[in-house]
Amino acid sequence: MNHGDGMNQRSRGFARIGIIFVLAATVATSIWMAAASPEAPQVTFNTIDGTALSSERQRGRVTLVNFWSTTCTVCMEEMPLLIETYRDFHERGFDVVAVAMPYDRPDWVVDYSRRNALPFKSRSTSMAESTEHSA
């Protein structure tokens, strides 16, 4: 056995121990953070179809809240991908809530949602503000 081979073996052994330590520390930290993380705040709002949607109702599901606008070209480009992702993963506990920006006209949001048959819930913030502040 060559002296250099022994050092090489020892170096690989230390590298393996280092990798195992880093992986163990990463897993332990992830578990600790998951256990210590607070719950999402309780929120309830109405969607454009008048349905009340609450964070309590979403408990146990992965929910992507997407802020978008009918006048945002990037938003319009990503919407078909968002629809596809929703359809691919909805049965496995994935939801999307699309929240239109306040400067978006409510009728544009409703029209876009209907024309494109959005399969997920959508909300118009300007519509919510106008109904929440009315007497």
Residue 125 and residue 66 in one domain: yes
Whole-angstrom distance, CA of residue 104 vs CA of residue 7: 67
pTM over 0.85: no
Residue 92 and residue 120 in one domain: yes
Per-position DSSP letters for 31-57, written without gaps between them: HHHHHHPPPPPP-EEE-TTS-EEETTT
pLDDT value for 29: 74
Indicate the angle between helix axes 125-132 and 106-115, nearest 10 degrees: 130
Residue 20 and residue 49 in one domain: no
Q: Report mean pLDDT in 10-residue bins for the chain, 135 residues.
A: 62 76 75 66 78 76 88 92 93 90 90 92 66 32
Say which amino acid occupies 20: I
Residue 71 and residue 122 in one domain: yes
Query: Would you call 24 exposed, middle or buried from its count of C-beta atoms within 10 A (0-12, 13-18, 19+)?
Result: exposed
Residue 48 and residue 100 in one domain: yes
